Chains A and B, each alone.
Chain A
Amino acid sequence: MDISTEELLDIYHTMQKIRLFESKVRDLAMAGEIPGFVHVSIGEEASAAGVCAALRTTDRITSTHRGHGHLIAKGGRLDKMMAEIFGKRTGYCKGKGGSMHIVDYSLGILGANGIVGGGLPIATGSGLAAVIAGKDDVTASFFGDGASNEGTFHESLNLAAVWKLPVIFVCENNGFGEFTPMETVTSVKDIAVRAQAYGIPGHIVDGNDVLEVLRYTSEAVARARAGEGPTLLECKTYRWEGHVVGEQAFLGEGAYRAKSEIEAWKLKCPLIRFEKWCAENGKISSAELKKIVADTEKELADAIEFARASELPDAAEVTDDVYA
């Protein structure tokens, strides 16, 4: 695959932003600075970064409760995201949405979603809109392995298939839905095989290899833009953290998976893997990578400062934006 150094740097920057942002959000939530339910995607950075690297600004995505990474990869601003997560007026949704509901229409981010499987039909409709408006924009829909058991998954794949809609369905299979191991509630080992039922291509992708994710997504995007219809990608990955930040407090450690399993996956860290690849292929020097880390840390510190310094919304704003 032809990929420029600039693109590689961008991909690494995205993954670092996600990693550092999520780690910080986890810590701030543990410290009680963030209200509500917080789900982070540490360990799953490559699928978000790889998919969005194949998209342009006018392409759209739908995301999930575990959505920070997707939004960052699609270009979401760390300061406005952080402010939203803090519930501040300067946040993306003026404090109305929070961690699970961040949206930026100007970047094609149709939104994170608190309803598992809620994004798939929306992505399908977004694909339909492109067809109706005569544009070649595509829509990528992120969802989990758990969501692939919702009716919305099956109905969306079928609808997108029969109407040949420009949609890329991206399943991030991290092995669990909440605290339930996938294999105890899912009829197949690989979600990708479900594509066959709807007559569309389905691919198993190493979800921790950002370049492989990019390669498969680029193919799916080309197909979609050419009017050939949807593709299902299954990115095999793992979440290092709990389902929800703070779950150890009510579940205890090791309630549903062994520590050794988590440690084994940490060895497959998508960032380290990319760094190694860069070193082996002489693409980017480690000094350049280090600079990206430092820049990202600064960006993140600024975002937190912005969020902290921002005002909470005024009670009177509660009735704004119910209707257009």
Chain B
Amino acid sequence: MAQINFIQAINEALAEEMERDPLTFLMGEDVVLSAFGATKGLIDKFGAKRVRNTPISEAGFVGAAVGAAMAGTRPICEVEFASFFYCAFDQVCNQAAKLRYMSGGQATMPITFRAVFGAMGGAAAQHSETVYAQFLSVPGLKLVVPSGPSDMKGLLKSAIRDNNPVIVFEHGALGRLKEEVAGGDHLVPLGKAAVKREGKNVTLVAIGAMVPKAMKVADKLEKENISVEVIDPRTLIPLDENAILASVEKTNRIVIADEGHLRGGAAADIAAIVADKGFDFLDAPVRRVTSLDVPIPFSPPLEKAAIADEARIEAAIRDVVGR
């Protein structure tokens, strides 16, 4: 087992899967030099045919990934910042997501999209958004939000092998996070949540960069005998409802922490599922800790005020446990 960071985990997953299947290839803006380092060196291993810098034309190259997938290859398509998906929305939502269904199951769409999201310190509203909620109500897509290097590697490898369009969202603030990652063919299945920490008093579902924050809050509250069970769903579509409901059945309380917005967000979706299918387990209202319903502001104190943080997670937990 080796300690690697989030970015290295991406790099290893890409290299292994590209090694495994000659019909995989990588394209995106500046993937050759790699601004964040995730695709660094892949050009040397796989050559210019399979590692392609695209023009700055998201609608065009995202659509080209759709066509390449329909025609039998397995594209891995990087959309630098997830906010730039807006420039390619049609190709993701009308084309990639729907064409299998609309063709009566003829098309397969084995595309992996990778994109950096989230607040990372003064990147402002057009580079800091958590955009997966925008894709949650588009049937046909799978959404993956890893919270650490080990899951990153295992989930990305599964995403690449999946025969559906999968978007892997990489939080920009997790880049340097280091962790032991299993060697060999390390796969994490899509649709299986991770219990990051067992607890008795309250279930804390945390998504993406909220997971390390949730773990810190859980550590802190442990000292006051508030026992927090932290669950990382890892994938939002498919969502491991059973893992969440089983935990709530045990703890009878739930807080959901997500960096997305409150309105129409991933936390809202999970809250609705718990209210619907877990109502009898609940001893307290379902609480969501999310970012505010504002575009993410530039100035550090404003950004801090907009984004869900440890203090707000802690307050929500205290609220539902009444301590």
Q: List A residues at the B interface (Cβ < 8 Å).
A: 35-37, 87-88, 93, 95-98, 100-101, 113-118, 146-147, 149-151, 177-180, 184-186, 250-251, 255-256, 312-319, 322
Contacts and interface: CB of A to CB of B under 8 A. Distances in A.
Interface string B46-66: 000000011111111000000
Contacts of A255: 33
Secondary structure type dominating chain A contacts: loop
Interface of B is mostly: loop
Interface in B97-129: 121-127
Nearest to B84: A115
A110 to B, nearest CB: 15
A114 B35 contact: no
A313 B294 CA distance: 15
Contact of A312 (B122, B294, B301): B301
B195 to A, nearest CB: 34
A313 B299 CA distance: 8
A179 B305 contact: no
B35 A318 contact: no
6 A-B pairs with the lowest CB-CB distances in the bound complex, closest first: A35-B122, A36-B122, A98-B298, A95-B299, A87-B299, A114-B126
A180 B292 contact: no
Contacts of A177: 29, 55-56
B146 interface: no
A37 B123 contact: yes
23 contacts: A35-B121, A35-B298, A35-B300, A36-B124, A87-B122, A96-B125, A96-B298, A98-B122, A101-B126, A115-B83, A115-B126, A117-B87, A118-B126, A150-B58, A177-B29, A178-B29, A178-B35, A180-B29, A180-B33, A180-B53, A312-B299, A318-B292, A322-B294
A147 B56 contact: yes
Given A150-B87, A318-B306, A319-B294, A250 B56 contact: no
Contacts of B123: 36-37
A47 B122 CA distance: 28
A241 to B, nearest CB: 16
Contacts of A184: 53
B126 A98 contact: no
A315 B298 contact: no
Nearest to B126: A114
Contacts of B86: 115
Nearest to A36: B122
B84, B122, B302: most-surrounded residue (chain A CB, <10 A): B302
B30 interface: yes
Interface string B87-100: 10000000000000
Interface of B: 29-30, 32-33, 35, 37, 53-60, 83-84, 86-87, 121-127, 292-295, 297-302, 304-306
B305 A315 contact: yes
Contacts of A186: 55
Nearest to A321: B294
Nearest to B298: A98
A185 B124 contact: no
Given A36-B298, A87-B300, A318-B305, A146 B124 contact: no
B54 A315 contact: no
Nearest to A84: B298
Contacts of B37: 250
Contacts of A250: 35, 37
Contacts of A114: 83, 124-127
Nearest to B60: A151
B131 to A, nearest CB: 13
Given A115-B87, A317-B302, A322-B294, A150 B124 contact: no
A96 B297 contact: yes
A319 B306 CA distance: 8
Among B56, B122, B123, B126, max chain A CB count under 10 A is at B56
B311 to A, nearest CB: 12
A98 B299 contact: yes
A130 to B, nearest CB: 26
Contacts of B300: 35, 87, 312
A161 to B, nearest CB: 20
B33 A314 contact: no
Given A87-B122, A146-B56, A315-B301, 10 more contacts: A36-B122, A88-B299, A95-B302, A96-B124, A98-B122, A100-B126, A115-B126, A180-B30, A180-B32, A319-B294
A87 B302 CA distance: 9
B298 A101 contact: yes
A318 B302 contact: yes
Contacts of A116: 56
Contacts of B305: 315-316, 318
Contacts of B58: 150
Contacts of A150: 56-58, 87
A113 B86 CA distance: 14
A314 B302 CA distance: 7
Contacts of A117: 56, 87
A100 B293 CA distance: 21
Nearest to A152: B87
Contacts of B121: 35-36
A178 B30 contact: yes
A88 B298 CA distance: 10
A48 to B, nearest CB: 21
